[in-house]
C-alpha cells in the first residue's frame, strides 16, 4: 500500500512504535477495502465532560467500565445506553482510546457485557505522578446485533493520590477521556 491514512508515531511516544505502526497499517488496509467497496459505515462514541471536570474515579485492582455519554452515529449502526454500546449485526474495526491519570499498570479492554466475556485487551500503560497516560485498543470483531459492549479499564495502583480516568486541561474547551471509533466493514 502506498498511502498512509494515519500519522506514524515518533520515537518520543511511549508505545512500541513498531507494534502500533503495524496495527495502523492493518487498519489502513481495512479502511481502503471498505471505502473501495462502498460498504464502510462509521460511528463515534465518547465520554464528554465540561471543562475543568476530571475523568471518572478508577478504583484500584479492578476493571471499571469507562463512561460513555455522547454518540455521533450518522448511519445508525450503534446504540448507546448506560456506558454500553450495541452495534447492529456485522463486522467492525474498533479504535478505542482512553486516558488515565497517575495510574501504575493500567490498560483497557473491549468487554461483551451480555456474554460476560473479554473480547480483546489493549496495550498496557504505566504512569508516574502527574502523568496522563494514553491507552489504545485496536481490534476487528463481529457483533450479532443484540450483545452490548463496554470499554473497561484496569487500575493496577496509583502513583499519587489521584486515580482518575484523566485530568482536565482547564482551557475552556470540553474534556474527552474515552473515545471509540466503530467502522462497520462487513
pTM of the model as a whole: 0.77
Q: All domains of the chain, ordered by start, with CATH?
A: 40-184 (2.60.120.40)
Q: What is the pLDDT along the chain (186 residues), one digit of tens a residue?
A: 445 555 555 556 565 666 666 766 766 666 555 554 566 899 999 999 998 888 888 888 889 999 999 999 999 999 999 999 999 999 999 999 998 776 667 889 999 999 999 999 998 776 666 667 788 999 999 999 999 999 999 887 766 656 666 767 778 888 888 999 999 999
Distances (CA, A) of 15 to 9, 104, 153, 154, 179: 9, 15, 17, 17, 18
Q: Is there a contact between 111 and 119 (Cβ–Cβ < 8 Å)?
A: yes
Amino acid at each position: 500500500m502506498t498511502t498512509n491514512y494515519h500519522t506514524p508515531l515518533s520515537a518520543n511516544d511511549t508505545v512500541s512504535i513498531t507494534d502500533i505502526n503495524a496495527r495502523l497499517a492493518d487498519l489502513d488496509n481495512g479502511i481502503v477495502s471498505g471505502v473501495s467497496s462502498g460498504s464502510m459505515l462509521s460511528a463515534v462514541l465518547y465520554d464528554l465532560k465540561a471543562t475543568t471536570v476530571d475523568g471518572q474515579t478508577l478504583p484500584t485492582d479492578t476493571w471499571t467500565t469507562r463512561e460513555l455519554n455522547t454518540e455521533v452515529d450518522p448511519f445508525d449502526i450503534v446504540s448507546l445506553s448506560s456506558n454500553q454500546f450495541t452495534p447492529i449485526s456485522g463486522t467492525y474495526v474498533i479504535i478505542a482510546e482512553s486516558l488515565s491519570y497517575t495510574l501504575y499498570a493500567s490498560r483497557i479492554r473491549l468487554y461483551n457485557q451480555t456474554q460476560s466475556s473479554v473480547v480483546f485487551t489493549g496495550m498496557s500503560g504505566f504512569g508516574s505522578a502527574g502523568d496522563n497516560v494514553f491507552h489504545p485498543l485496536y481490534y476487528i470483531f463481529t457483533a450479532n446485533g443484540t450483545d452490548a459492549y463496554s470499554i473497561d479499564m484496569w487500575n493496577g495502583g496509583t502513583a499519587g493520590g489521584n486515580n482518575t480516568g484523566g485530568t482536565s486541561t482547564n482551557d475552556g474547551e470540553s474534556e474527552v477521556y474515552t473515545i471509540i471509533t466503530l467502522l462497520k466493514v462487513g
